């Protein structure tokens, strides 16, 4: 996958994406990164990339002509889907990550100040994406979050497809709890914590059922929205509805 980042701070990349599994995948060429400094495309002597908004209001807006020039520096066949990280965008979900992982290329625009002139977003069909209902100082961190969610789905990055199949959201449920050695753990407060006996039983069918029950209980408790959607899909499957 070819990834192009339009940013005023290219030195932020690859950042955390250069470490661990995504970093290994970058070194192996499973994805490529091109961090483009938008300021390089400003035409005045002060390298101005922003201006005051028409109609008044606080803050500054990134200029459409400068953003466009930065975007067009990327060959058309390497742009792929164009994304703009924005609190007002479509929420990032696992389903969206799967959709984006199928794209051979992504171009991500990282806004600063009050954002970007709407005209350039419309002209080049940028899809706005949000990582949550809060505001950050820029789009660089959200871009890294999005890319981590997407890149781990690319073949060879995690190495084991079964890892995907058991994660939260894969089947619409939150993931069940995990336990490892020691089976009985004594914490520093003097309390002993036991691993559920079924996980030590060796009965794989019972373990699968326990995990399913735990995933359903956690989802119903913590994410009623996901739980209702899961129940509806399950009911539709039983009744043969699409």
Task: Tell me the pLDDT tens digit for each residue of 131-174.
Answer: 999 999 999 999 999 999 999 999 999 876 545 555 556 688 99
pLDDT in the model for residue 234:
86
Cα–Cα distances in Å, from 11 out to 36, 37, 56, 135, 140? 10, 9, 32, 22, 10
Is the alpha carbon torsion for 43, 44, 50, 53 positive or negative? negative
pLDDT mean over 78-92: 97
Percent of the chain topping pLDDT 70: 95
Taking the complete model, does pTM exceed 0.85, yes or no?
yes
**pLDDT value for 165:** 55
CB-based contact 107:71 (threshold 8 Å): yes
pLDDT in tens, 169-224: 668 899 999 999 999 999 999 999 999 999 999 999 999 999 999 999 999 999 99
pLDDT on residue 162: 44
């Amino acid at each position: 996958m070819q990834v192009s980042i339009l940013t005023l701070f290219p030195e932020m990349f690859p950042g955390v994406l250069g470490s661990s599994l995504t970093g290994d995948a970058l070194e192996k060429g499973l994805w490529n990164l091109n961090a483009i400094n938008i300021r390089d495309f400003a035409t005045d002597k002060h390298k101005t990339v922003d201006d005051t908004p028409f109609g008044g209001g606080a803050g500054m807006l990134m200029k459409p002509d400068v953003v466009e020039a930065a975007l067009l520096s990327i060959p058309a066949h390497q742009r792929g889907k164009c994304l703009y990280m924005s609190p007002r965008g479509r929420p990032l979900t696992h389903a969206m990550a799967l959709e984006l992982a199928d794209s051979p290329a992504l171009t991500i625009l990282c806004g600063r100040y009050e954002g970007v002139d709407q005209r350039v977003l419309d002209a080049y069909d940028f899809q706005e994406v949000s990582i949550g209902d809060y505001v950050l100082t820029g789009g660089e961190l959200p871009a890294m979050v999005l890319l981590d969610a997407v890149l781990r789905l690319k073949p060879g990055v995690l190495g084991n497809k079964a890892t995907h199949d058991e994660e939260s959201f894969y089947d619409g449920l939150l993931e069940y709890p995990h336990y490892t050695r020691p089976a009985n753990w004594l914490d520093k407060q003097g309390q002993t914590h036991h691993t559920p006996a079924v996980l030590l039983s060796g009965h794989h069918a019972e373990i699968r059922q326990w995990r399913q029950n735990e995933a359903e209980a956690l989802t119903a408790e913590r994410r009623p929205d996901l739980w209702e959607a899961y129940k509806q899909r399950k009911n539709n499957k039983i009744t043969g509805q699409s």
